[in-house]
Chain A
């Protein structure tokens, strides 16, 4: 049996090596002593320059000298004062007790759950950097590490990139814990798994592989794990870094991993049998495997009526095809095959072009480039300047250019249509892919006419047909065709009619709803209600 979700075997695997921090390596063999002053100096020698390094001397039970150190940027100061220092100072050690002082503290004084002891400097530094406070007590040759980690995070807001009219308004934020909580909240089932990994030799970024244990295909899961484990990089600053490393084809312009800021969308995909990867520090969740049809679907599609949604999906697909081919079709018709369109159109188009100094292909290329510059400028500009920019865009590029005889009015219309077409696509990354490919098509159409256009489109299609995302054909369910999956592709049939999970993912649990179970349960509940 051939591997299903694997990459083709020709890909070379990089050799794995993990460069360790030299400080940590040296500190591996340095152990703490009963002398707190010595222990304290071990840390100050490394961290004394850091502004957020904090130490506090106090006496445990009013008698034994002790010192607490932490990085105050990472910890909750109030917690330290109220729950640690105050408790340790005020309580008394019962003289008749035989329990050692640390055990007594950990079991009776502090009501902390996350307490552990560390014995050497390396572990001490690592727990400091993880947001723990270390407490040294005179006469004891180990330190207590107390987890008082706290982190600045923004509140949960609606995602900017995937707005909906109807649907939940919460979006992911940068904190991994919060994001996992958002998923858990929607999936209160024991099958929901969140596997944690650490990637990035320097950033030590936490990432979480989320899936539903009884749905996801185990081979797919294993492939996701192995691809993530193979990543060797010093930094993971966003989920995008992970995406680059786990995608199948690096050279393709098309995204092969879906990203989303919406928890409901991620949960929906998990329930189909996909795997989601959350990255600490990034509000985007990655979803694999991704196929082409997913990129023009939105989570809102399932909330509205199916006939209207199907129509909208067809319009989105048409818009995407428009953005790819419309301007190049215009070029090829005007410069090679005016007989293809009715004579009245040709007359209108060519009379508008009177006085335009360039051939059509150059004219369209210039306008497309101007359009891309405008788009890029609107994205990068501060919002306050945005109004000025749109005036410049409308007046200069639109009206003035036409009045000056620089471009023909019909070219501007065509341009606007193809640009709006690409904006109507819900996924930014697939829209940009088509926008870039559009330029190649315009050049091909401008040089070789309809043949060039057809060849260009076929090259794009062939490439898309040869793409795989985690072994899943990118153009499924169109090719290889699958009738069940077509019900939720460019159309969306009523949810009651789509009872099966996508076959290309080969989930363990093939049915979304098990009919027998469903009937039994609903029947029983119905009786109770009446």
Chain B
């Protein structure tokens, strides 16, 4: 009889999708367009392809070491001390990223929903939500992702599909942008890569799969579908607003939501649905970061006191989230942190994978 609680390939893909779709989906069209103008769709495709190396490396590593998590094969490939050092860096990075993105989330909530509420309330709620489930089992982690995905994707489609009737096609032209150098194209694409390359948590899930050999295919599918939503969102937002108008919109996706009308006038603002869906999306994303932290630290310390670890991470994330002064500083931090993140989420796994090939190491397979 097969165990009930093993992670299936579909669940792995779903986890990647709901992790990728997160805080940044609201603002990403603005970021990219600001850099490359009408070349945004092209440049985001480039960015997604760059991120593809990361997911490929992570899943290939998972296939090579099917019984070990990131922490485990770090030790195996780099040696115990250096491996642990890098593991700690990865964990710290994701905690910091979580802090910054929580703040980003709180700024949007306070800016668009609750102007009179202190920002720390929104920060507290989000971290509390993540921490309150992060000490549970891997299967619960996957179930939560699986359950929320429809509530994230369907509202997103409700916003995106009707927006197509507002599209002005010349907003997309020229596809290569006005005087955009290759370097600029890549740097714009990098923004997208920064947004979609936060899938590292799957390195903690692959050993719990029934058949870890299948992780590469489902990982790539999950990444492709998740990042497709980014490309579509960027393209439609650009086609609706145009490059010039977009620069004045802090959250273009929310702007799309404001333009949609539902017949029957049940809700006067459809963007509220989008905001709730977005809260779900942010939760699943940050939950992935926090889960990586809890599981990672537990494995490093060889303990199973997940509750305690989850509790101890709380103040750190809260502190990081409280650091920036205003929304512009938040954006500055987000871009800086995720830029450093590219080294950790893409270059590092690729190097690790190459190193494991050179040293001819393989994990224990049954």
Residue of A nearest to B144 (CB): A465
Min CB gap B122→A, angstroms? 6
**Quick one: CB contact mask for A426-469 with B, threshold 8 Å, 1 for yes?**
00000000000000000000001111101100110110011000
**Can you give 14 contacting A-B residue pairs, CB < 8 Å?**
A217-B1, A336-B114, A341-B267, A343-B268, A449-B114, A449-B117, A455-B279, A458-B279, A461-B148, A462-B132, A462-B133, A473-B143, A475-B143, A481-B10
Chain A residues within an 8 Å CB radius of B3: 1-2, 4
In the complex, are the beta carbons of B146 and A458 less than 8 A apart? no
Min CB gap B258→A, angstroms? 11
A506 at the interface (CB under 8 A from B): yes
Secondary structure at the B interface, as helix, strand, loop or mixed, is helix
Which residues in chain B, 248-284, are within 8 Å of chain A measured between CB atoms? 265-269, 272, 275-276, 279-280, 283
In the complex, are the beta carbons of A449 and B113 less than 8 A apart? yes
A165 at the interface (CB under 8 A from B): no
A2-B3, A449-B114 as given contacts; A462 in contact with B269, CB under 8 Å: no
Chain B residues within an 8 Å CB radius of A4: 1, 3-5
In the complex, are the beta carbons of A473 and B139 less than 8 A apart? yes
Cα-based distance from A217 to B265 in the complex (angstroms) = 52
Cα-based distance from A339 to B148 in the complex (angstroms) = 26
B125 at the interface (CB under 8 A from A): yes
A340 at the interface (CB under 8 A from B): yes
B357 at the interface (CB under 8 A from A): no
A80 at the interface (CB under 8 A from B): no
B140 at the interface (CB under 8 A from A): yes
Contact of B275 among A336, A341, A450, A506 (CB under 8 A): A450
Min CB gap A440→B, angstroms? 14
Residue of A nearest to B150 (CB): A478
Contact of B113 among A450, A455, A458, A462 (CB under 8 A): A450
In the complex, are the beta carbons of A479 and B125 less than 8 A apart? no
Number of A-B residue pairs with CB-CB distance less than 8 Å in the complex they form: 101
Contact of B136 among A458, A466, A481 (CB under 8 A): A466
**Quick one: CB contact mask for B329-347 with A, threshold 8 Å, 1 for yes?**
0000000000000000000
Chain A residues within an 8 Å CB radius of B113: 336-337, 449-451
Which residues in chain A, 1-51, are within 8 Å of chain B measured between CB atoms? 1-2, 4, 8
Cα-based distance from A336 to B283 in the complex (angstroms) = 22
A219 at the interface (CB under 8 A from B): yes
Cα-based distance from A2 to B121 in the complex (angstroms) = 40
In the complex, are the beta carbons of B144 and A462 less than 8 A apart? yes
In the complex, are the beta carbons of A480 and B142 less than 8 A apart? yes
Cα-based distance from A479 to B8 in the complex (angstroms) = 12
Residue of A nearest to B117 (CB): A448
Min CB gap A161→B, angstroms? 30
**Quick one: CB contact mask for B287-316 with A, threshold 8 Å, 1 for yes?**
000000000000000000000000000000
Min CB gap B104→A, angstroms? 15
B328 at the interface (CB under 8 A from A): no
In the complex, are the beta carbons of B147 and A465 less than 8 A apart? yes
Contact of A471 among B4, B129, B148 (CB under 8 A): B4
Residue of B nearest to A472 (CB): B4
In the complex, are the beta carbons of A481 and B269 less than 8 A apart? no
B220 at the interface (CB under 8 A from A): no
